Amino acid sequence: KCLFGSGRLNGENATFAYEPRVALQTRRARAHALQTTFCHDLVAVFREALRASWKGVPAAPEDPLSAVSELVLDEEEDNLRETQRPAGTNKIGMVAWLITAKTPEYPEGRQLVIIANDVTIQAGSFGPAEDRFFAAASKLARQRKIPRLYVSANSGARIGLATEPLDLFQVKFVNNDPTKGFEYLYLDDAGMEKLNAKGAAASVVTEATVATDGKRHHVITDVIGLQQGLGVECLSGSGLIAGETSRATQEIFTTTIVTGRSVGIGAYLARLGERVIQVEGSPMILTGYQALNKLLGREVYTSNLQLGGPQIMYRNGVSHLTAADDLAAMKSFVRWLSYVPSARHAALPLSLNNQDGWDRPVGYTPPKGPYDPRHLLDGTLAEDGKTWLSGIFDKGSWQETLAGWATSVVVGRARLGGIPTGVIAVETRTLERVVPADPANPNSNEQRIMEAGQVWYPNSAHKTAQAIADINREGLPLMILANWRGFSGGQEDMFQQILKFGSMIVDNLVNFKQPVFVYLPPGAELRGGAWVVIDRTINENGMMEMYADPTSRGGVLEPEGIVSVKYRHDKQRETMLRLDSRYAELVKSGDKQASAAREKELSPIFNAIAVAYADLHDKTGRMAAMGVIRQAVPWSESRRYFYQRLRRRLVEEKSMELIMQARPGWSSVEARTFLESVIQVGLEDVEDGDMAGLIEQKQAALVEALEGLKRDAALAQINALAAGL
Amino acid sequence: KCLFGSGRLNGENATFAYEPRVALQTRRARAHALQTTFCHDLVAVFREALRASWKGVPAAPEDPLSAVSELVLDEEEDNLRETQRPAGTNKIGMVAWLITAKTPEYPEGRQLVIIANDVTIQAGSFGPAEDRFFAAASKLARQRKIPRLYVSANSGARIGLATEPLDLFQVKFVNNDPTKGFEYLYLDDAGMEKLNAKGAAASVVTEATVATDGKRHHVITDVIGLQQGLGVECLSGSGLIAGETSRATQEIFTTTIVTGRSVGIGAYLARLGERVIQVEGSPMILTGYQALNKLLGREVYTSNLQLGGPQIMYRNGVSHLTAADDLAAMKSFVRWLSYVPSARHAALPLSLNNQDGWDRPVGYTPPKGPYDPRHLLDGTLAEDGKTWLSGIFDKGSWQETLAGWATSVVVGRARLGGIPTGVIAVETRTLERVVPADPANPNSNEQRIMEAGQVWYPNSAHKTAQAIADINREGLPLMILANWRGFSGGQEDMFQQILKFGSMIVDNLVNFKQPVFVYLPPGAELRGGAWVVIDRTINENGMMEMYADPTSRGGVLEPEGIVSVKYRHDKQRETMLRLDSRYAELVKSGDKQASAAREKELSPIFNAIAVAYADLHDKTGRMAAMGVIRQAVPWSESRRYFYQRLRRRLVEEKSMELIMQARPGWSSVEARTFLESVIQVGLEDVEDGDMAGLIEQKQAALVEALEGLKRDAALAQINALAAGL
């Protein structure tokens, strides 16, 4: 609107009296009193977090924020504008910025939208104006396909009462005696006139009646109120941003930092955005503890943290990460962002500062017994306290999420030779799950339940499924270091819906859009249902591949189980007869006592032989022969192998995507054949390590072929359309 | 392949010796021993169930099955063929049919695919051949977009051991003494030769070594086996059909009847197909109880029903319905089918035999106190035991599902003037939830937890979300009779992930494709978060509409809650001063004692007045004024209103769909404008009851306009494509 660009005072009246700094200082103090950062300081906090991410990286920029615009909603035109206005100019309890930030992965800058409650305006409650603004800012992020960070500090949906009739309404008392109770609220003629004089006739709905004293009573049937933000309209606005956030979660990278406190719709927005970083001391609640105490009729709860603090929300997988303070939370966000493409469907952000080259063996080898699966990923110090035993991923790149929930599965993100990757690994140790006692239920006790390693429980299956969905939406490939003996099938686990959560794993892998490598690490097992729900055939688009270390095992049951069905005592005796000449002789001689004694003596050995025979069916040789794994990959070589393979798959998928775009409707087989004709070699014959170079070398040919393809497709389509005319 | 069509003996050798009936009888008996119907009798059971559905309908067909073909997979060509072959000819443990069935909704016939395990072949286990066949039959149903029924009676993935090396392998014993243990399994040269002679050289992988006695030992490193169906290949096959079923659930109407028992992949297929009808005495399990007892080292469980019988699976929402026997289960399936279109995205099946006309008031009115919400839906007898008080839906059309789980929400399907509709209603009574004690956990006790009506708990929120997803996939519109005071926000409910399940409600409504009517019935309340997650703005495509009976209430908090924040004692005192002249005089007189006494006397009354004032904000007048409901609809008129409205929306959506198909890329606003130009009247100006007639009347114009639109779209596209060449 302004002819002179969008300077700091753009849109302000020329005689605008700017607010003195001290007003900001008061609001800042009010925010701090609510244990959160004043929203207008969040950009500075984000800048600090970015600076920290540049630490040790050469050529760090002076200011990592190359552009910051505050977003303002022009309510009349329903139009979101970028402005440069003084901090604290906002009139509503919600602020947002469009920011271009320089990160080590995107030194030229990447965009994101930050939305935050302003707790200094009406306690950060959500009224219709706040809701419309939130929805518009979120939609902007969706349109640009860029990440959206929501900083949640609020008190839920706004409440209020209409003020206009408040000092005008009359009460029809029973027998006109106020101590006897009342019949209805009304306005008399004078009250009606006064309300009209206020211009607030629309504030009430009345029905006129003539009272016993002959006077006209305008009985109030509904109070409407002139202001917005009293009741249901706030709930409808909350519904608007709940739906908007649900869509955003599907379409872009959404994260929420929970600070201060998040109430009602605030708590729901956090969960609807899936990725939650919860600051300690900042609860997410639906109902405040005082209100609950009132409902329960006694002093049960003493704080909101009992209801929705990290001890609840981190342990049930609502909060993915916790942080000591807002800066730490922002640093976690910046780190998470570093794994994610600048926009949905953009190329993966490669780490340009990777110190840990892909071309090395994996140093750490897991022991026979239980161990911490994080060592497989991130490496660990040897027992001598000096030697570094490296993991499969880049040193220091592992970021775990949801660590407080369902600890028998470990999920997070890491880098493989600089390529960001989602990771799922399996705990092998037995860990304790604590279910807190609810103070409101006198019969409840704290329960401590031991959960064995290598077993899927309802909670860890749910966590696995949730992580797959999150990683898929982030556009990352996925590496599953599979090591499960199966699903736990006892009565409690069946009752706790293990079938539903196991099925969710399948549902989420069916929809996975990037490559998934399922790999059995050394000594790992994958049995029965656990194999079924991550088998490569689940994904129809060929996104999944399976591999196994030669020391791992896969099968329907463990060998002991197979033997107890298929190689039982009678068959073991046949083997004994064949292989122990002495037993054979004793049987032949008819000396039943002696043969029975020999049989008893040998029976444990021959049972072990039977188990060994069954176990030979579960090795990688058979997996490869049956075609259920692509090949056996030794653990020490796994880093090199999967780096090459992943790069190859990414390059290949990108090429296929371009072909499918140029020629919509082609099957993947047709696209594959086309690609092969361009690179003049069968894809099966290209070594993984050569693929990227080959595509680069044939780039000109590929571009030309794609142009031709587009032309052909257009002509074919024109013909088809013309024929239909 | 056969020149002479596909008769009963098609594909059989001319000298084929057909199996005597007695063989079938033996197999039938074996199936019965496993407490299930012999799979080849299922078509007859289906016929019986169909016959029952025709009961009382005029012009019932003699045979409701107009075509039955058994499906056979030609493994070589990977091609599914329809055949007419004698029952029991199957060689693998899986059978399937493509059936055309006449139902009262589709007297001309509707198609479906039935797939069933054959428990008489290898105990109904899943081997690779069974898996490929299952996948092909399911894919056929997906291609035709027709319903798929799976009858699950099985023993999970197949297991086995290779037989070829079993009588040939040698064992290297420690010191050649079998009692001392052994080192490895091997074949000697003679054994290798014998294996070769069997043509089974590929059955093992060996590494040759020279033993201490100078002989060559071919150490066995892997056993492969010549037969398929021993181990991992069965798991991979299970993965294939798990993925296939997950896709089928998204694309078509999938249902599973669990009979006999369903183990492992069998149990997973049931859940992955979502809709489960469980026959009593037929468990769904992951691990058999004996195997669990062995694992636990003691006799904990005494039956598989303890693990996955209806008392577990019906109570946790895995089983939607239970049935006394296979025929009852099939009848439930046929009834469910009656609500569902013949193919995905086809028009809704209208009941042609509806005795309960749409043009009547609703007879039943709920009382002030708690009541059974099913009476709202289906009606009930008056207290006199004679007068029928009708519900909102067609009499007798209500079919509840998931009734065993999370009883504070009631979900199912019903008909509104013959139109099938998904239904969600709310329990107002306090009911008991029973969590069984797990025999395996000595610390666990049976817990009985009281759940209040009108409150969403984690389980009932989950149930609501699941029902929305199911109904959406069935292509039905949805009526939510909303009556929730909110989400339960105590510690236990927060810990039990109420935020996740509440968010699932939003996620599933965002994706809803048919009209959704949210309606507050008489005396209902909708507050806070409960309103938020079902607000109409959640669905961006305008599929949701909200309505309320004039006696219902909506707001952020209950009036008492608002008063405790916004109309507290000091403000109430002001009202008292204004309205009670005696109190005003006493205050003026300065007699503090007397004024305090009066104040105390009046204080309960004026608190009630404040609550009444706040309550006036929560009425339908304000909801309508704020635009959050389309209008108030009185309960007694609701049947007439929603029937007209639903018909109108369905006709309108169908027209919009045709326009969007003719002109892809148009916004819904553009499509709307186009439709208005064709029918020559603004959509807002058309009464609901006139819409269907209007569209019918303008049908010729609409068809012509659509043709023109297609032509325009084609020309525009041709121009755009040509410009790009």
Three-state helix/strand/coil letters over B48-93? HHHHHHCCCCCCCCCCCEEEEEEEEEECCCCEEEEECCCCCCCCCC
**Mapping DSSP to helix (H, G, I), strand (E, B) and coil, where does residue B375 land?**
helix
Please list every residue in chain A whose beta carbon sits closer than 8 Å to the beta carbon of residue B222.
616-617, 619-622, 625
Extract long-range pairs of A696-702: CB within 8 Å, 24+ residues apart: A702/A655, A702/A658, A702/A678
Question: Which positions in chain B touch A602 (Cβ < 8 Å)?
Answer: 178-179
Label residue B1 by pLDDT band (50, 70, 90). very low
Selecting from A316, A506, A539 the residue whose C-beta is nearest the C-beta of B495 gives: A316
Inform me whether the C-beta atom of residue A581 falls under 8 Å from chain B C-beta atoms.
no
**In chain B, what is the straight-line distance between the N-terminal and C-terminal CA atoms, in Å?**
46
3-class state of residue B416 by DSSP: strand
Nearest CA in chain B to A533: B239
- Kindly state whether B293 is in contact with chain A, defined as any CB-CB distance less than 8 angstroms: no
Q: Output the DSSP codes for A643-707.
A: HHHHHHHHHHHHHHHHHHHHSTT--HHHHHHHHHHHHTS-GGGS-HHHHHHHHHHTHHHHHHHHH
Q: What is the spatial distance between Cα B668 and Cα B688, in angstroms, rounded to a whole number?
A: 19
pLDDT confidence of residue B96: 98
Distance from CA of B492 to the nearest CA of A (A): 6
**Strands, E assignment, A174-292:** 182-187, 204-210, 216-223, 254-258, 262-263, 275-279, 284-285
pLDDT-derived band at B78, boundaries 50, 70, 90? confident
Q: How would residue A1 be classed by pLDDT, with cut points 50, 70 and 90? A: very low
Neighbours of A683 (CB within 10 A): 16
Rounded Cα distance, B104 and B353, in Å: 8
Residue matched to tokens 């979900």: B411
Cβ–Cβ gap A230/B617 under 8 Å:
yes
Which residues are paired to A99 by β-bridges?
A: A68, A112
Residues in chain B: 725
Q: How many Cβ atoms from other residues are within 10 Å of residue A51's Cβ?
A: 17
CB contact under 8 A, A246 and B286: no
Nearest residue of chain A to residue B131 (CA atoms):
A537
Residue B11 has pLDDT above 80, yes or no: no
Q: Are B116 and B42 in contact (CB under 8 A)?
A: yes
As a whole number of angstroms, the distance between CA B466 and CA B464 comes to: 6
CB B639 within 8 A of CB A244: no
- A224 neighbourhood in chain B, CB within 8 Å: 621-622, 625-626
Percent of chain B with pLDDT over 90: 86
Instruction: For residue A704, give how far its alpha carbon lies from the nearest alpha carbon of chain B (Å).
Output: 14
Average pLDDT over residues A310-321: 97
Contact A247, B540 (CB under 8 A): yes
Q: What part of B 423-462 touches A (C-beta under 8 Å)? A: 435-436, 438-441, 443-444, 447, 449
* Contact criterion met (CB below 8 Å) for B26 and B272: no
CB pairs under 8 A between A and B: 454
Q: Hey, CA dihedral for B53, B54, B56, B62, is it positive or negative?
A: negative
Q: Is the pLDDT of residue B75 over 80?
A: no
Beta strand B516-520 with B478-481 is parallel
Burial of A156 (0-12, 13-18, 19+ CB in 10 A): buried
Nearest to B669 by CA among B542, B546, B538: B542
| Whether A661 contacts chain B with CB within 8 A | no
* Cβ-based neighbour number of residue B551 at 10 Å: 18
CB of A272 closer than 8 Å to CB of A246:
yes
pLDDT in tens, A175-194: 999 999 999 999 999 999 99
The answer to whether A96 and A150 are in contact (CB under 8 A) is no
Tell which B residues from 583 to 602 touch A, by Cβ distance under 8 Å. Answer: 601-602
Please enumerate in sequence order all residues whose Cβ is within 8 A of that of A393, keeping only pairs 6 or more positions apart, or say none. Answer: A377, A378, A414, A415, A416, A421, A423, A639
Lowest mean pLDDT among A648-652, B353-357, B470-474, B695-699: B353-357
Is A160 in Cβ contact with B243 (below 8 Å)? no
Grade residue A668 by pLDDT with cuts at 50, 70 and 90. confident
Backbone angles phi, psi at B20, to 5 degrees: -70, 155
Rounded to a whole number of angstroms, the distance from the CA of B598 to the nearest CA of chain A is 9
Residue A373 touches partner B, C-beta closer than 8 Å: no
Chain A contacts of B566, Cβ < 8 Å? 159-161
pLDDT grade for B441, boundaries at 50, 70 and 90: confident
Structure tokens at A380: 């660990």
Residues 163-222 of B with CB under 8 A from A: 166-167, 169-171, 178-179, 181-182, 184-185, 202, 205, 220-222
- Band (A118; pLDDT cuts 50, 70, 90): very high
The residue among A289, A487, A616 with the most chain B CBs within 10 A of its CB, best to mutate, is: A616
The pLDDT of B689-711, averaged and rounded, is 90
Average pLDDT (A253-262) is 97
Residue B12: predicted pLDDT: 63
Contact A83, A69 (CB under 8 A): yes
Quote the tokens at residue B111.
Answer: 């198609």
Whole-number percent of chain A with pLDDT over 70 = 97
Q: How far is CA A465 from CA A500, A510, B497, in A?
A: 10, 11, 15
Q: What is the pLDDT of residue A221?
A: 97
Determine the residue type at A543. M
Look at residue A713 and tell me whether its pLDDT is greater than 90.
no
- Mapped onto helix, strand or coil, the DSSP state of residue B151 is strand
Query: Who among B287, B489, B510 is closest to A243 (CB)?
Result: B510
Q: What is the dihedral of CA A574, A575, A579, A584, to 10 degrees?
A: -20
Exposure of A37 in the CB half-sphere (CA atoms within 13 A): 21
Of A247, A528, A627, the CB nearest to B157: A528
Main-chain dihedrals φ then ψ at residue B358, nearest 5 degrees:
-75, -25
Interface test with B, best of A503, A520, A709 (most B CBs within 10 A): A503
Inter-chain touch B619–A307, beta carbons under 8 Å: no
Averaged pLDDT for residues B481-500: 96
Pairing of β A455-456 and β A486-487? parallel
Place B213 in a pLDDT band, splitting at 50, 70 and 90. confident
Helix or strand holding residue A601 (H, E): helix A592-615
Partner-chain contact A489 B287, CB within 8 Å: yes
State the maximum Cα–Cα separation within chain A, in Å, rounded to a whole number. 124
- B207 pLDDT above the threshold of 80: yes
* Mean pLDDT for all residues in chain A: 94
Burial class (CB in 10 A: 0-12, 13-18, 19+), A513: middle
- Interchain pair B221, A616: CB under 8 A: yes
Tens digits of residue pLDDT in B516-536: 999 999 999 999 999 999 999
Contacts of A697 (CB under 8 A, 6+ apart): none
According to the model, what pLDDT value does residue A721 have?
87
- Write the residue in A224, A495, A538 that is nearest to B316 by C-beta: A495
Q: Does A562 touch chain B (CB under 8 A)?
A: yes
- Report the sign of the C-alpha dihedral through residues B29, B34, B35, B39, in that order: negative
Asked if residue B665 has pLDDT above 90, the reply is no
3-state secondary structure of A398: coil
Name the average pLDDT for chain B. Answer: 94
User: pTM of the predicted model, to two decimals?
Assistant: 0.95
Residues of B in contact with A444 (CB under 8 A): 492
* Alpha helix segments (H runs only) across A398-480: 458-473
pLDDT at B126: 97
Q: With an 8 Å Cβ cutoff, is A94 touching chain B?
A: no
* Cα gap A257→B328, rounded to integer Å: 52
User: Does the pLDDT value for residue A545 go beyond 70?
Assistant: yes
- Secondary structure (DSSP) of A619-655: SHHHHHHTTSSSEE--GGGHHHHHHHHHHHHHHHHHH
d(CA B263, CA B154): 6
Burial A395-411 (b: 16+ CB within 10 A, else e): eebbbbbbbbbbbbbbb
Chain B contact for A566 (CB, 8 A cutoff): yes
Q: Which residues of A are less than 8 Å from B223 in CB distance?
A: 613, 616-617, 622
Q: Mind listing the pLDDT tens digit for each residue in B416-440?
A: 999 999 999 999 999 999 999 888 8
Order of all β-strands in the sheet with A399-401:
A399-401, A409-416, A419-426, A478-481, A516-520, A544-548, A631-632
State the average pLDDT over residues B377-398: 96
Q: Which of B507, B509, B516 is nearest to B653 (CA)?
A: B516
DSSP string, A337-365: HTTS-SSTTSPP---TT--S-SSS-----
> Quick check: A502 pLDDT over 50?
yes
A221-250 per-position pLDDT tens digit: 999 999 989 999 999 999 999 999 999 999
* A16 has a pLDDT exceeding 80: no
Is the Cβ–Cβ distance between A117 and A151 less than 8 Å? yes
Helices (H), B590-687: 592-615, 620-625, 638-662, 668-679
Contact A535 B567 (CB under 8 A): no
Q: Under an 8 A CB cutoff, do B312 and A491 touch? A: yes
Strand partners of residue B410: B425
ipTM tops 0.90:
yes
- Which pLDDT value is given to residue B215? 93
